[in-house]
Amino acid sequence: MVCTLSYQMYKYEYGLTAAEQRAADVRAGEAAAALTDLRLHFGHVFGRGRRGRPTRRAADAVTAPVRVMPSAR
């Protein structure tokens, strides 16, 4: 919808009617729901699963001794 500058100025000064506000709220709610669905979808597609950051427990479980190369001494 294209509005003239004078109409936009009028709306800025006097605000929206109740019907216009309800329509704007509905559009905002639909957009928020779509973004939430998209975020959840991407979370499933690019989910961490087993490839995510290691947990602290996994990092603490490493008990192998550290080897020093003979040339490094």
The tens digit of pLDDT for each residue in 19-35 reads 888 998 999 999 999 99
**By percentage, how much of the chain surpasses pLDDT 90?**
21
**pTM for the full predicted model:** 0.46
**Res. 5 pLDDT band, cuts 50 70 90:** confident
Instruction: Quickly count helices (H) and strands (E) in the chain.
Output: 3, 0
Residues ≥6 apart with Cβ < 8 Å to 24? 16
Task: List the structure tokens of 57.
Answer: 């427990």
**Do 15 and 24 touch, CB atoms closer than 8 A?**
no
Task: Give the model's pLDDT for residue 11.
Answer: 81
pLDDT at residue 59 greater than cutoff 60: no
